Amino acid sequence: MRIPPDVSEWLNLLFRWFHVFAGIMWVGSTYYFTWLDGRFQQAEREAGEGKEAAEVWMVHSGGFYVVNKKKTPGARELHWFRWEALLTWLSGAFLLVLLYYLGGGMVDVGVRDISVRTAVLFGVGMIVAGGFVYDVLLRTPLARNEKAFAAVAYAVVVGAAYLSTRVLSGRAAFLHVGATMGTIMVANVWMHILPAQRRMIAAAREGRTPDARDAALAKLRSKHNTFMAVPVVFTMISNHYPVSTYGHEHNWLILSGLVLLGWVAAKIIRRA
């Protein structure tokens, strides 16, 4: 299916604009709550066990804001932060199809002379396989050891970077590594974090003690999302730097190194 160039360009502009803005809202809310949770953890350590966490005071625009943390939901309306993730992913998926699957950006005959159909199947398979491998790893004892999990996950990322740059065009390879992590992130939100939160809320409102495993699951996957967000943003902008990134002869090493750099940056941001 061929889309007229002027229509394709307008769709590209509008959906990229939407995608970037939705991503700003998603990443912004993710890191805001990460920062907020860090402040409460610090307050809880200072107050000692068994005491209520201190309030967190903030100033913004023309007012002062105070937030406190509760173990159970109150009677008032709960505000969920979920649509930003889904809208970011949906608009990103649309752009991936428009610019790569239909736009002819998947194949570089200098890398591998394959059909567009084969390249698309490889790209979609990589995204699906990445999510499957991530979920399998989280169901192993590795999930209880942060450093070991990170080491194995990084080895998988390096393998994906190497393999994809040997099959797809460099630009498409970078985007598919990012799309894989972005898909894992949105699946974490909609398939794991939100259901766990709903179970916790239902238990609290029925007078039961929420399952601590649900809280741990939601927190762990949310934490992983904060680490994946920085590399995903890099892959989104990497197409502007073909000489330094995807067009380089060692592009898979550059991608692997910048993913690691993104994780280090996320670690620093989480501690800020």
| Phi/psi-derived region of residue 230, left when phi > 0, alpha when psi is between -120 and 50, beta in every other case | alpha
Domains held by the chain: number: 1
Output the CA angle 155-226-76, nearest 5 degrees.
145
Whether 142 and 41 have beta carbons less than 8 Å apart is answered as: no
**pLDDT value of position 1:** 62
Question: How many residues would you count in the chain?
Answer: 272
Tens-digit pLDDT profile for residues 154-193: 999 999 999 999 999 999 999 999 999 999 999 999 999 9
Tens-digit pLDDT profile for residues 134-158: 999 999 999 889 999 999 999 999 9
**pLDDT value of position 119:** 97
Tens-digit pLDDT profile for residues 50-109: 566 678 889 988 899 888 887 777 767 888 888 999 999 999 999 999 999 998 899 999
Q: Domain containing 36: what range?
A: 5-271
Report residue 212's pLDDT band, with 50, 70 and 90 as the boundaries: confident
**pLDDT value of position 194:** 93
Helix 170-187 to helix 212-237 angle, to the nearest 10 degrees?
160
**pLDDT value of position 49:** 59
